[in-house]
Chains A and B, each alone.
Chain A
Amino acid sequence: MNQLLTDTLHTAPIMGTIVLALVVILINAMKKDSLALEYWVSLIGIAANIGLAVWAFPLRGSAFAGTVMTGGFASLTAAVFLVAAGLTIILSRAYIEKIGVNFGEFFHLILMGAAGMMTFAAGTDLVVTFVGLELMSICLYALAGISRRVHKSNEAALKYFLLGAFASGFFLYGIALIYGMTGTTNILGIAQNIAAYKSEPLFLVGAGLLLVGFAFKIGAVPFHMWVPDVYEGSPTVVSAFMSTGAKAAAFAALLLVFTATFDFIHSSMNTVLSVLAVASMLVGNIVAISQTNVKRMLAYSSIGHAGYMLIGITAGGDVSMAGVLFYLISYMFTNLGAFGVASIIENAEQQGTDLENFRGLYYRRPLLAVLMGVFMFSLVGIPPLAGFFGKYYIFVAAIENGYTWLTIVGVITSMISVYYYLRVVVLMFFQAPEEAEAPQVTSGGTIALLVSAFGILLVGLFPSIVLGWMGGLF
């Protein structure tokens, strides 16, 4: 009993978020027109849970018989997901009213999804990892289709669900094979005798299947096909949450399983990872050029960014793992901001996120345009914004570990990406204003965007602080 209490306490951020999600759905069930109340309860609860994560940070170890990690890495990633959830909720408040899906379960699903992400990223037993993955994914399937009268949204949800289920199958099959080979699903247990399995074909097949499951969730080429369709079709704030929280969770789990534990450095697994990285960088960045819809463009851009982060996973070592985490944090702020702006531009019919709609935005909504500019520049990786240091640390780590050629591909594709990111900036600032009405901006939306921009600047100007949190995490 005592052990159970300690374990629960040490996994407080996850537990707290689940409780919070339940409280929110209960409020929704028991009280009419309770959206505002749920909104504030969610935000206050998230703040409290971030506090719990900070509190739990020094409590490094594991809980529940070694199946969940506590403190350190788990706390840091939990805080990232909570911030992403919080910002998404703030952005959603006005958005879901605008598109007419102001249901209370919206916040519940976001919170439950965040709890799933935390479990996903903190699981040290592959079964727990899988449970987290599913908890997260199911919430996202529902969120993608929450705008049930919109055809595109339904399509997105269905596609995401079908392909997601497909990928989960691979994931589970991989776990099964690994269990068959090693007799355990605990990744620390697997790690102990890793040298013995490393070149066993059956173990490799298991690891490969697992990797495909991960690659699907992070949207790496060639498992990326769902990304543009789903990001475009889903309500924009949901795309924001998916592209930041879900992607970050998958990366964190991938980092934990493949780099920190399986220790595949300089093996055939690295060949696979680098092939995925290069394919993602090339396809994501090149196809993004010919997109005319900003949400779709951001979807391809997120495929490209998955490629950059895969460089970090490939390179391995403490520096590059810290680099990947750093990248996730900077990418979280940046992409939330970018999708956030798109969600404000969007109209009630969930349309109007074409590049054309950004034309002359500066003359209609100067602040919005400037913020979007910051997000675009951060995505390009212009110093001193966060995006620059994210790429910088990953590239440096890659060069130090002998992956100079990956860095070269990364730099070239970054240059390609300048074209489509800056096109948005050019349209907003240097083109004649469109006759359209200025989009409605709520104070909540502005705050969320300002927080994102502020986060980008803060992380970019003082990268050493963020890196400091990662000292000795691995």
Chain B
Amino acid sequence: MYQYVGLIVLFPLIGLFINGFFGRKIKNETLVGMIGSAAVGLSFLVAAGIFVEMLGMPEDGRSHVVTLFTWIAAGSFKVSAAYQIDQLSILMTLVVTGVGFLIHVYSIGYMHGDRGFWRFFTYLNLFIFAMLNLVLADNYLLMFLGWEGVGLCSYLLIGFWYDKKFPGTGITWTGDAANKAFWVNRIGDFAFMIGMFLIFREFGSLTFREVMGGAETLAVGNNTMFWITLLLFIGATGKSAQIPLFIWLPDAMAGPTPVSALIHAATMVTAGVYMVARNSALYALAPTTMMIVAIVGALTAIMAASIGIAQNDIKKVLAYSTVSQLGYMFLALGVGAFTAGIFHVMTHAFFKACLFLGSGSVIHAMHEEQDIRHMGGLKKVMPKTYWTFLISSFAIAGFPPLSGFFSKDEILWKAFSDGSLVLWIIGASAALMTAFYMFRMVTLTFEGEPRWAKDKHPHESPATMTIPLIVLAGLAILGGFVGIPAVLGGGNAIEHWLHPVFAQAHHTMALSEHSSHTTEYLMMGISVVIAVTGFWFGRRMFLADPEADKRIAAKTGFLYRLLSNKYYVDEIYNGSVVRPLVRTSESFLYRVFDVRIIDGAVNGLAKTTGWVSAMMRYVQTGVVQNYAALVVLGLVVVLGLLIFS
């Protein structure tokens, strides 16, 4: 059935065309929503069918390449529109289409009454189409097409409400936020492209199979591999919001909340993680890059988590939380725990999508209010949202036996056993902060007394919104069971499943056997204690006093201001990069270089050509005798050249 992989990509494309071309004419919102959702749902069914089929295949026969057509052929350069179905890509496909489907359904309720309803579903389908190309591609170029495609959709959807104000550093409209996301991503994409060019130069091919095959013969520490992997990783820091390019993600919250859930939490931002995992064999050859990846991941995790403590916008907290969780994933990749990274991608997709959709439900109920200081007591009026939000919060905080516990614990354990104690300490501290800010948010939003204005009447959201929440909460509970580690008597099914994909990398890295089980139990215990501590403080402090922030701010002074202002990173970038760039561009590049030199040359050339043209017209006299004379002259030239040259 894997031959039908094209269908997975085709369905969203059909949905996109139907809604894109006829959506405006279809007056019925439900129909538009159903077309959009069904397109993704059908893709999910096909993917599930392929997955079931793969389960029945022998372990080393599960990887297939299905070529649709030759895309570009120029000399030795040949790229096909071909999809690679293996354990990794099918897992990503299931997450993208599965979670994507739920978010589509949710959007039917959330976007109800929006004048751009059909446009929204068109963009969403386009996104799914691009994302599927990204994860299913069998070569870098097609992957890059998807990579750019999701970037475009991200841009379109962040600025979806293009006439809405959205304050931020150097930003006033949602359109500015969309531009910021796009520009920052360009930096990463540029690095990705150079990495891709280097790959072609080094291996003479752009398909994953041939490149990985070529990588088998290379020695660890190869200098070219260092640059290739580093450039690809820079690409990933853009898409997956890591230091130093993470600044766009919090502002991406300007888009509608389902977008934040789908693109800026569950799927697109994990593309960088997927890409690094897909290239695990190359990364294994570059230990220096691996170290950089691990350090960047760990630093991003703790930096974003600390910022999350001091944010008051419900979506901003979740945004920083996403950045932080992505940091964990890169930490895992950096220490060679590729499976753990992908495992966390999956569980994170479940609980973070649930949290975002939950926040959307709250925002919906509160009539576009996003400040958690003006909420409180919502658990009574919207119990379904509350319970699903709570479950997901426990999951992200790492409470056993919820999904987040298994994946995060796996990462921390690998950071310790295959990395270093320092990495573990950073990761564990970030985990403490995670639990703290999550329960600060849960408490301020749902617990205690209502602090909202009297004219607001919050209510539970409709079923199209709550059913996806419940399903996702269920997944947040159960999703971790595919990765129960051996010490807890589990089979770690996901590690087993993904093993063939990462076998080459593991072989290259030749990781030592793990430390004793006692240490692993000990570490696990510490994890749980950390989660409970964070939960306890977060809940106690803010249940007792919803304005505890003020006390903390008064006590810690500068430190708190630093956090609430996001370490002033935006300001630093603006001052050091953006403004000088704009100034040079205006005063030199535009006024001198473009206007004087370029335009002058171009206009001069055009004028000259026009003059020559006008002159040559005069040759065309209209008199036949002249024409005949020219023919004879031409003949003389031709014969002269023939005989005497």
**Across the interface, do A268 and B645 meet the contact criterion of CB distance under 8 Å?**
yes
B616 with A212: CB separation less than 8 A: no
Q: Of B609, B610, B627, B642, which is within 8 A of A269 by CB?
A: B642
The yes or no answer to B488 lying at the interface (CB within 8 A) is no
Q: Which residues does chain B contribute within 8 Å of A159, judged by CB atoms?
A: 624, 627
A253 to B628, CA, bound (A): 23
- In the complex, the answer to whether B613 meets A201 with C-beta atoms within 8 Å is no
A392 → chain B closest CB, angstroms = 9
Q: Are B642 and A272 in contact (CB under 8 A)?
A: yes
Q: Mark B65-100, 1 if CB is under 8 A from A, else 0.
A: 000001000000000000000000000000000000
Q: Are A225 and B638 interface neighbours, CB within 8 A?
A: no
Residue on B nearest A268 in the bound complex, by CB: B645
Complex alpha-carbon distance, A289 and B607, angstroms: 11
Stretch from A160-168, A307-315, A340-348, A445-453 contacting the other chain: A160-168
Q: Which positions 15-51 of chain A face chain B at CB distance < 8 Å?
A: none
Residues facing B in A251-306 (CB within 8 A) are 268-269, 271-272, 275-276, 283, 286-290
Does B456 count as interface, using CB distance less than 8 angstroms? Answer: no
Q: Is B631 in contact with chain A by the CB < 8 A criterion?
A: yes
Taking a contact as CB atoms under 8 Å apart, the answer to whether B613 and A275 are in contact is no
In Å, the complex CA distance between A222 and B633 comes to: 8
CB distance from A114 to the nearest CB of B (A): 27
Answer whether residue A362 sits at the interface, using C-beta atoms and an 8 A cutoff.
no
Minimum CB–CB distance from B610 to chain A (whole Å) comes to 6
The one of A212, A229, A419 in contact with B631, judged by C-beta atoms closer than 8 angstroms, is A212
Among A215, A225, A226, A286, point to the contact of B609 (Cβ < 8 A): A286
Q: In the docked arrangement, what's the CA distance between A229 and B633, Å? A: 20
Quick check: is A438 within 8 A (CB to CB) of the other chain? no
Note all chain A residues with C-beta closer than 8 A to B627: 159, 163, 225-226
Binary per-residue interface labels of chain B (622-645) against chain A in the complex, 1 for a CB within 8 Å, 0 otherwise: 101011101101110111011101
Tell me if A268 and B642 are in contact (CB < 8 A).
yes
A-chain residues with CB within 8 Å of residue B633 when the two chains form the complex? 222
* B631 in contact with A167 (CB, 8 Å): yes
Smallest Cβ distance from A412 to chain B, in angstroms?
A: 10
Set of chain B residues within 8 Å of A223, measured between Cβ atoms: 630-631, 634
Interface residues of B in 597-619 (CB under 8 A from A): 606, 609-610, 612-614, 616-617
Q: How large is the interface on A (under 10, 10 to 19, 20 to 34, 35 or more residues)?
A: 35 or more
Q: Which of A133-141, A203-211, A240-248 contacts B (4 or more CB under 8 A)?
A: A203-211
**Pair B639/A287 contact, Cβ less than 8 Å:** no
Taking CB atoms, residues of chain A closer than 8 Å to B641 are 268, 271-272, 275
Q: List, in ascending order, chain B residues with CB within 8 A of A166's CB.
A: 628, 631
CB atoms of A286 and B612 under 8 A apart = yes
CA distance A419 to B602 in the complex (A): 13
Q: B620 at interface (Cβ–Cβ under 8 A)? A: yes
Establish whether residues B624 and A212, one from each chain, have CB atoms under 8 Å apart when the complex forms: no
Q: Which of B613, B624, B628, B645 contacts A286 (CB 8 A)?
A: B613
A residues in contact with B643, CB < 8 Å? 201, 204-205, 268
Main secondary structure of the interface of B (DSSP, over half): helix
Q: Is the CB of B631 within 8 A of A208?
A: no
Q: Is the CB of A287 within 8 A of B624?
A: no
Shortest Cβ distance from A414 into chain B, in angstroms?
13
Nearest CB in chain B: distance from A285 CB, A: 9
**Residues on the B chain within 8 Å of A167, using CB:** 631
Provide the bound-state CA to CA distance between A325 and B70, in Å: 23
The listed residue (B610, B631, B639) touching A290 by CB distance below 8 A is B610
> Which listed residue (A209, A216, A228) contacts B620, Cβ 8 A?
A228
Chain B contact residues (Cβ within 8 angstroms of A): what range? 20 to 34
Judge whether A422 is part of the interface by a CB distance below 8 angstroms.
no
Q: Mark A400-428, 1 if CB is under 8 A from B, else 0.
A: 00000000000000001001000000000
A120 within 8 A of B: no
Chain B residues contacting A225 (CB-CB under 8 Å) are 620, 626-627, 630-631
A276 to B642, CA, bound (A): 13
- Nearest residue, chain B, Cβ from A207: B642
Q: Which residues of B contact A326 (CB under 8 A)?
A: none
- Tell me if A289 and B631 are in contact (CB < 8 A): no
Contact B642 A216 (CB under 8 A): no
Which residues of chain A come closer than 8 Å to B639, judged between CB atoms?
204-205, 208-209
Are the C-beta atoms of A212 and B613 separated by less than 8 Å? no
Task: Tell me, yes or no, whether A107 is within 8 Å of chain B by CB.
Answer: no
The interface residues of chain B lying within 8 Å CB-to-CB of A226 are 627
Residues of A within 8 A of B617 (CB): 287, 290
**B628-A163 in contact (CB<8A):** yes
Q: Identify the interface centre among B610, B614, B616: most chain A CB within 10 Å of its CB.
A: B616
**Roughly how many angstroms separate A60 CA and B624 CA in the complex, as a whole number?**
43
B630–chain A nearest beta-carbon distance, Å: 5
| Chain A residues with CB under 8 A of B610 | 289-290
A106 at the interface (CB under 8 A from B): no
Contacts of B635 in A (CB 8 A): 170, 208-209, 212
Give the distance to chain B from A220, nearest Cβ to Cβ, in Å. Answer: 9
Which residues of chain A are near B645, meaning CB under 8 Å? 268, 271
The answer to whether A289 touches B613, judged by C-beta atoms less than 8 angstroms apart, is yes
A199 CA / B354 CA spacing, docked (Å): 83
Q: Are B642 and A212 in contact (CB under 8 A)?
A: no
Q: CA of A223 to CA of B637 in the docked complex: distance in angstroms?
A: 12
Assembly CA distance A216 to B628 (angstroms) = 11
Chain B proximity mask over A313-338: 1 for CB below 8 Å, otherwise 0: 00000000000000000000000000
Could you tell me the distance in whole angstroms from the C-beta of A384 to the nearest C-beta in chain B? 12
- Cα(A207)–Cα(B642), bound, Å: 9
Contacts of B70 in A (CB 8 A): 464
What is the CA–CA distance of A212 and B641 in the complex, to the nearest angstrom? Answer: 13
Cβ-closest chain A residue relative to B626: A225
Bound complex: CA A162 to CA B629 (Å)? 13
Quick one: which of A158, A223, A225 has the most chain B CB within 10 A?
A225
Give the distance to chain A from B315, nearest Cβ to Cβ, in Å: 41
* Interfacial chain A residues near B613, Cβ < 8 Å: 286-290
Q: Please, which residues of chain B bring their CB within 8 A of the CB of A271?
A: 641, 645
Contact among B622, B637, B642 with A205 in the assembled complex (CB-CB below 8 Å)? B642
Complex CA gap A286/B617 in Å reads: 10
Q: Mark A378-393, 1 if CB is under 8 A from B, else 0.
A: 0000000000000000
Q: Are B616 and A416 in contact (CB under 8 A)?
A: no
Task: Compute how far the CA of A271 lies from the CA of B639 in the bound complex, rounded to whole angstroms.
Answer: 11
Contacts of A229 in B (CB 8 A): 620, 622
Chain A neighbourhood of B626, CB < 8 A: 225
Nearest B residue (CB) for A272: B641
Cβ–Cβ < 8 Å partners of A228 in chain B: 620
Determine the residue in chain A with the shortest Cβ distance to B631: A223
- Closest beta carbon of chain A to B570's beta carbon, Å: 40
Are B634 and A212 in touch, CB under 8 angstroms?
Answer: yes
Name the B residues within 8 Å of A272 (CB-CB): 638, 641-642
How far does the alpha carbon of A269 sit from the alpha carbon of B626 in the complex, in Å? 26
Shortest B644–chain A CB gap in Å is 8
The smallest C-beta distance from A97 to any residue of chain B, in angstroms, reads 30
Q: For the A-B complex with A162-B628, A288-B613 known, give 18 more contacts whose Cβ atoms are closer than 8 Å.
A: A159-B627, A163-B631, A166-B628, A205-B639, A205-B642, A209-B635, A212-B635, A222-B630, A222-B634, A223-B634, A225-B620, A229-B622, A269-B642, A275-B637, A283-B616, A286-B616, A287-B616, A287-B620
Identify the A interface with B (CB < 8 A).
158-159, 162-163, 166-167, 170, 201, 204-205, 207-209, 211-212, 215-216, 222-223, 225-226, 228-229, 268-269, 271-272, 275-276, 283, 286-290, 416, 419, 464
Interface pairs A-B: 4 shortest CB-CB: A225-B627, A222-B634, A290-B613, A289-B613
Chain B interface (Cβ < 8 Å from any Cβ of A): 70, 606, 609-610, 612-614, 616-617, 620, 622, 624, 626-628, 630-631, 633-635, 637-639, 641-643, 645
11 A-B pairs (CB sep. < 8 Å):
A159-B627, A204-B642, A207-B642, A212-B634, A215-B638, A226-B627, A228-B620, A229-B620, A283-B616, A286-B616, A416-B609
